[in-house]
Amino acid sequence: MAEIIAKTNNKCGRQGPKPSPRIDLTPMVDLGFLLITFFIFTTSLSEPRNMEIQMPAEGGPPTELAHHTAMTIFLSNHHHLLYYSGMDAMNNQFDKLTETGFNNDGIRNALLNHVSNVKKAIASGLKGSSVNDLPFVIIKAGPKSDYGDLVNLLDELMITNTGNYALMDLTTDEAKEIESRAH
């Protein structure tokens, strides 16, 4: 605590003018340096993380996908997602679309199941599979989808450690299907 030290101006000890107080600010300076040190230390620890996006060369060759690695997710309105995987995704089997959301049993479980299915296909020696195969997710946003849903889906991809994905435009048939299933 800061102390007030009174000095008397009178050397004889007589009652003289009021002594002038002196406040010791050393503890306050110490506290200030501690706070500055704390804030500098915490700001250097909380550096923002970013995601790397690799864009293909324009006019380059299309990316080839094995059917067992493909999963297509459609972003619809009102936080609804539609997805299919495997041969259904490669052949646009709209009747095989599964509807889900961002709830506890939603898209995270679907992504984890997809990763598991890719690993099972490799382990079983599925024709056309390779030990280098990785799950690949194609994301297609509907015209009435929410940008926040795309961000949430990218977060789910990071959580499930699904690093290979692409953002693509809807085809006309896909847009009609998404619109017909909109709530």
- The pTM score is 0.66
Q: Is the pLDDT of residue 13 over 60?
A: no
Query: Would 157 be classed as within a structural domain?
Result: yes
- In angstroms, the Cα distances linking 174 to 20, 87, 96, 162, 164 are 85, 16, 13, 24, 22
Q: Which domain holds residue 168?
A: 67-181
Contacting residues for 82 by C-beta, under 8 A, at least 6 apart: 73, 74, 76, 97, 98, 99, 100, 178, 181
Task: Give 63's strand partners.
Answer: none
Query: Would 44 be classed as within a structural domain?
Result: no
Give the mean model confidence (pLDDT) for residues 101-120: 88
Q: Give the containing element (helix H, strand E) for 168.
A: strand 164-168
Query: Would 53 be classed as within a structural domain?
Result: no
Query: Would 6 be classed as within a structural domain?
Result: no
Q: How many domains does the chain have?
A: 1
The CATH number of whichever domain residue 111 belongs to comes to 3.30.420
Hunting for tokens 């299919």 — which residue is that? 84
Query: Would 38 be classed as within a structural domain?
Result: no
CA 72: distance to chain centroid?
19
Q: Which range, 17-21, 52-56, 105-109, 131-135, is most confident?
A: 105-109
Query: Would 45 be classed as within a structural domain?
Result: no
Share of residues in the chain with pLDDT > 90 (%): 14
The rounded mean pLDDT for the chain is 81
Query: Would 31 be classed as within a structural domain?
Result: no
Residue 107 in contact with residue 156, Cβ under 8 Å?
A: yes
Which ranges of the chain would DSSP assign to H, the alpha helix? 26-45, 87-90, 107-124, 147-159, 172-181
Q: What confidence score (pLDDT) does residue 33 get?
A: 92
Query: Would 147 be classed as within a structural domain?
Result: yes
Give the mean model confidence (pLDDT) for residues 120-149: 85
Ranking 48-52, 82-86, 104-108 by mean pLDDT, the lowest is: 48-52
